[in-house]
Structure 1
């Protein structure tokens, strides 16, 4: 019962992060699966792709109903990362569990810096046409990280959608969930057969994640985005430091 309640609670936190900020779910998911729910790091990466991908798909549906998903642009960006997500997933199998978590911790700290600096854009709409090679490069890079480390990449996708496809912040948050769902699917295909997926555990996390998405979407329209981002960045920094302290000695 304790594991069930903990899984539902963690799922709710992941859903709130995705619904509110368009990302952050996987930053919580992998450490939670490893250290709170006892998963192997490789299994945690695979499970994270399932959980974050399905939550992102549900979140995109919620935001689309509010008119804040630019589907065509999101699909264009997402499709560019499908191949690199698959390749990243294959490459991650050659790394040890501790090294994978060290790299994940480094990414967490980078993400926290991006969040504390405010990401990209302040909500202004730039009508300049997107540059195709920038779309290709950004989409491919985010896709690779998704497959390699099991992250949705929302905190990289949102700034990229603002800078490269010139979306305002609300549309970028909603549209990023479409990209996360696509990248997670491709990354999952690359991980299949490499580790066992605990579908019962995933079901419990999703049971908390879907209500969390609704709550996050509600919060996104009512609370200052800057304060939410700063608070979450503080949590990400703390988790990143803990992961480095635990796993870096094992790698060295």
Structure 2
């Protein structure tokens, strides 16, 4: 009996719950779970992860659009550059040995976990944010829309492109890139930032997943139930997230990411 038919939707549910609880960056553990449990390489796991993230983030983006908190023009602009660079990352992932990819992925996880933990700790302690000059992307109070200018466009272009490249290379979606960039370079509310990030992820991950299917690099038999499970898990996580979300949960998640990063780097170094 092929137990992957049962295992993959279960893993998808877990990833979806994490996304529902922690927001756009929860999908970063999708690939590590596929690596440890299903014994895939990074290149094999990345397309499966992208399909699951595409479906789950699309639902979140639609809800954000319905609630009028998704900045669809900014999402579309960032996604254009993400779509351009996502195939480059996918192409490289198929040509780079698995061990270096595992080490690169673990370094990414270390960065995300430490940054997330520090941010949550500052929020718990009520520490004031560091003063900085006004961001380039500001909401026009009269129009209720972003005022576009060259520095704003440049910041959004870079964040979208980087998110797209990493989503293709590592299958991570890119929420951990987009959310901090939007916080730094815009004055959007926290809810609007998450919704806008999900809008970008929905487009980039969908493009990456379609490219993987067209190029024959997608294991559809695993990806389909895994993605369906992620969608179910996302809806469950959103319900629990209404009661459990907060900086303390973010700290717990960051510790989990850090532990996974240690496991990945050990696995990567052992295969060199």
Q: Would you say same fold, with TM above 0.5?
A: yes
Q: How far apart are the structure 2 equivalents of 1:196 and 1:167?
A: 37
Matches within 5 A, 1:32-181: 32-118=33-119, 127=138, 129=147, 131-181=152-202
Q: Aligned-pair distance for 1:185?
A: 2.7
1:8 and 1:249 mapped to 2: Cα distance?
Answer: 29
1:241 is the counterpart of 2:242: no
Q: Note closer, same or farther for the CA distance 1:53–1:113 as it changes in structure 2 (3 Å cut).
A: same
Measure the CA separation in 2 of the matches of 1:216 and 1:36.
21
Which has the larger Rg?
A: 2
* Cα deviation 1:140-177 (Å, max 9, x = unaligned): 11111111111101122111122223221111112211
Q: Distance in 2 between matches of 1:174 and 1:85?
A: 21
Q: CA deviation at 1:92?
A: 2.0
In structure 1, C-alpha distance between the alignment counterparts of 2:92 and 2:211, rounded to whole Å: 9
Q: 1:46 to 1:222 in 2, by over 3 A?
A: same
Shift of 1:105: 0.9
Cα distance in 1 for partners of 2:187, 2:94 equals 36
Q: Tell me how far 1:106 sits from its aligned partner.
A: 0.8
Using a 3 Å threshold, how does the CA distance of structure 1 residues 87 and 110 change in structure 2: closer, same or farther? same
Distance verdict in 2 for CA 1:100–1:52, change over 3 Å: same
Q: Distance in 2 between matches of 1:138 and 1:207?
A: 28
Secondary structure of the corresponding residue to residue 70 of structure 2 = coil
Alpha carbon RMSD of aligned pairs, Å? Answer: 2.6
Q: 2:54–2:205: 8 Å Cα contact kept in structure 1? A: yes
Unmatched tracts of structure 1, length 5 or more: none
Q: 1:195 and 1:26, CA in 2 relative to 1: closer, same or farther beyond 3 A?
A: farther
Q: Which residue of 1 aligns with 2:30?
A: 29
CA distance in 1, matches of 2:13, 2:179: 21
